[in-house]
Structure 1
């Protein structure tokens, strides 16, 4: 089994990063591989912070971003990260900017306004641009403009960038207006566009030991699939859909480990955490500590930014910032 890595390491690019809502660091994998120096990372979730610290070091801090003193945050070239997305999710309650988590969008904007980095990268769910939340999205874009940033945004499907997963997320990239350019989203490298399938990323992994990993096999069997099929016909619940090794994966979400997600292994079991990490394009060098519960591990992976997508966005941003300053 060869070590899996879709985020090849590039030389240091001389740019510093403050990472907000850093989660377990799946996005950080991509940014660090492109050569950024992440000097500070923040998240409210203790398990995510534990995972981040385990993989990257002590510059991560567990903190409530609403309570933190903005002046205490470091001045950096780039601010990276997206507020928790559940209030904008199509699958969630849809509270939007009025929800407790949705309000963090405006706190994020306040931090950008005060710190005035050269650029910021904001990631969120596609639900942010649906009809229900579009007024919030448009207001956010207008505000970013008002505080001095040229804005580009795009819905990025991870499958278009060498990831074996259909995962659509909204990326907003702001460039401080005095720098005189607007960010251009990168095109996929040759061979990346809609090419990777499940077998490419998890096909070489050994089958998990049923005795040791019984939680992955619990409740996912023919009876459960039949039960979920009936639920689906009645208009409630999920239908568990076994994935196909020769096709791209459905979105890995924070529920994929519970058996409540529609996304299960072709062998009618839960995906392992390592399989989920690979589907998220995280390298095998990234490891979740054993003292984090299994459900929390799945949540960390499902909430993360696909590492290779972060690598692409980060690389394009570094290149464009470098070409304007030279």
Structure 2
């Protein structure tokens, strides 16, 4: 399937789709460093531009539209989140591309906090907008730890199937669990994920293995929590900015904060994936990303090919529903 990606960032979700055999033909983001990271590690098919300034004619035809639209306005980590936060409406750019390009499928990813915004009314509006665009839609909260990511990270995954496409999308079965049962593997602990990573001060050949020297605190707040090495890490966040204010999790030994390389591994990025920009920018790119392993689980829901008969035979029914 040909894939177009909005709000691509460093490319975590895109990498998941590529690893599962799909072809990402176009991507877009307006975070310069993230675009440079994407170009270095994935492809130069990404456009550095504000999506609001990108004409739909500039976007090539595609089968699947994917996008983890910016979530700062929705996130529970943002104590000042409001219904009228302008960032909450960035999903309208995704909707606009859906209406203009009419791909067979779409994926919209966001934080769990989107479900409770405006006592659920905002999410209902979003879902209705997607339905009115001509798609059958559903959603489910997926935890990245359930798919081998050494991090507890819950995200809302909205799936849309164009109404004339006769194909049922089923959410992936988890491969890991907090406890071992039904042939599932145990969650990957943060201690296990980083056990072979040397200290930054030791001899090594790792890229981006530099860490914030910001003083450790243990007050229970975001970025100031003691890490249990025998469990997946808490959610990696992008709270803060690229000027040095990004919140960074403690190392599982709780003697310093994690390096960029370590935090990237917590997000399941390959160890040779190189991040452009300064250290704070790299932290921010990682915090904004969809873990590639979770991206693979999402990508596995979609067929690699689709017979045109599966589309045409249902077109009359879809038109009646519209």
**TM superposition outliers: structure 1 runs of 4+ over 4 Å:** 190-194, 210-215, 255-260, 319-326
- Identify which of 17, 21, 27 aligns with 1:35: 21
Aligned counterpart in structure 1 of residue 261 of structure 2, from 274, 284, 287: 274
Offset at residue 27 of structure 1 (A): 1.3
Determine if contact 2:209/2:259 at 8 Å carries over to the other structure. Answer: no
- Structure 2, unmatched stretches of 5+, are 177-182, 312-322
Q: Quick one: distance in 1 between partners of 2:297 and 2:307?
A: 15
Q: List per-residue Cα deviations over 1:2-45 (Å, max 9, x = no partner).
A: xxxxxxxxxxxxx1011000001111111110011111100011
Equivalents in 2 of 1:105, 1:201: separation in Å?
A: 34
* Separation in structure 2 between the aligned mates of residue 19 and residue 177 of structure 1, nearest angstrom: 21
- C-alpha displacement of 1:124: 0.5
CA–CA distance in 2 between the matches of 1:238 and 1:206? 25
Q: Deviations over 1:276-325 (max 9, x none)?
A: 11111111131113xx1110000000000011111011012126957985
**Aligned-pair CA distance for 1:266:** 2.5
2:95 is equivalent to residue 109 of structure 1 = yes
Residues 195/323 of structure 1: CA separation in 2 closer, same or farther (3 Å cut): farther
Looking at secondary structure, tell me which structure has more helix per residue: 1
Mapped pair 1:185 → 2:157:
no
Q: 1:121 to 1:138 in 2, by over 3 A?
A: same
Write the mapping of 1:110-189 to structure 2, written as runs, cut at 5 A.
Answer: 110-132=96-118, 134-189=120-175
Deviation per residue, 1:47-76 (Å, 9 max, x gap): 110111111121111111111111221110
Q: Tell me which residue corresponds to 2:272.
A: 285
Asked if the contact 1:30/1:308 (under 8 Å) is kept, the reply is yes
Match of 1:248 in 2: 232
Relative to structure 1, is the Cα distance of residues 239 and 24 closer, same or farther in structure 2, using a 3 angstrom cutoff?
A: closer
Name the CA shift for 1:39/1:247 in 2 (closer, same or farther; >3 Å). same
Give distance in 2, aligned partners of 1:109 and 1:133. 22
Match for residue 219 of structure 1?
214
CA separation in 1, counterparts of 2:252 and 2:38? 30
5+ residue gaps, structure 1 = 1-14
Which of 274, 278, 285 is 1:300 aligned to?
Answer: 285
Residue among 196, 200, 207 paired with 1:204: 196
Kindly state the Cα deviation for residue 201 of structure 1 after the two structures are TM-superposed.
1.4
SS at match of 1:283: coil
Q: How far did residue 163 of structure 1 move?
A: 1.0
Over 3 Å counting, the alpha-carbon distance change for 1:324 and 1:207 in structure 2 is: farther
Per-residue deviation, residues 130-173 of structure 1 (Å, max 9, x unmatched) = 15262111111111111111112101111111111100110001
- Aligned mates of 2:196, 2:39 — CA distance in 1: 28
* Shift of residue 194, structure 1, vs aligned partner: 4.8
Q: Deviations over 1:182-231 (max 9, x none)?
A: 3210102376565211122111111111899997362324xxx2xx63xx
Instruction: Give the TM-score taking structure 1 as reference length.
Output: 0.83
Change (3 A) 1:90 1:154: same
Q: Distance in 1 between matches of 2:265 and 2:307?
A: 31
